[in-house]
Amino acid sequence: VADFDFKESTVVLDTSSPEYDFKVEHQLDIDENLVDLFLNKKVVFTLIESLPKDKTQVLGTAEVRLSPFVKCATKDPQSDTATNALLPALSRKENAVFSYLNPRLLPPPSKDGEQLLPELAVEVSISNPLIRPDAIEAGNFITFSPEDFLPVPDEWTTKEGTEKDLNSNIYFYTLGLSLPSQSSSERRIEITGGVLTTYEAAGQG
């Protein structure tokens, strides 16, 4: 498969604690393409407001990464830890935080200045590991950790948000690289979710 199909939940009434009892199942064949999909794709949730006269408005989006289903724990060569203990969990629960397209729709910050953001409790499960235990036992896993990227265009740091979209000056980046592969000439890898951080801010973190 190249991507997941779009699925729409039923309309939920606007309450202080709405409950989205929504479940979707996919039957997927485990192969190299599926592993790449889990590493490079996300499950995206779109919060849509139903308006009168069958109109709708997108309020915001939230994302859940699938890469933890592929990432394995590092094995100590001196340890006799069983391979099964290194396998990723088959089920994950997390709270996906919505990023609103219009920040003005968010409630005012609390007294201590904390901005409360809408969250959606999500559980994602798979029935079998995406990588066989014997492949993990015999394989080597490479970790890439990009750090500095210099120089960057001035527009990335000087452009201001527009009145319609205050976040239009916030950029997100994807780093792409290619690795040799036995089944093809090369394998394309993407590292997503990059956010521009100035040198001063990075030095303070």
Residue 117 φ then ψ, to 5°: -110, 145
- E-strand spans in 79-166? 91-97, 99-100, 119-125
β partners of residue 123: 93
At residue 202 the predicted structure's pLDDT band, cuts being 50, 70 and 90, is very low
CA angle 67, 70, 146 (to 5 degrees): 55
pTM for the full model?
0.60
Tens-digit pLDDT profile for residues 158-195: 666 666 666 666 667 788 888 777 766 777 777 776 76
Picking from 118, 113, 114, 115, the residue whose alpha carbon sits closest to that of residue 96 is 118
Picking from 167, 188, 170, 171, the residue whose alpha carbon sits closest to that of residue 179 is 188
At residue 201 the predicted structure's pLDDT band, cuts being 50, 70 and 90, is very low
Does the pLDDT value for residue 200 go beyond 80? no
As a whole number, mean pLDDT of residues 31-49 equals 84
At residue 78 the predicted structure's pLDDT band, cuts being 50, 70 and 90, is low
CA 41 vs CA 93, 121, 187: distances in Å: 17, 19, 15
User: CB within 8 A of 46, min separation 6: which ones?
Assistant: 58, 60, 61
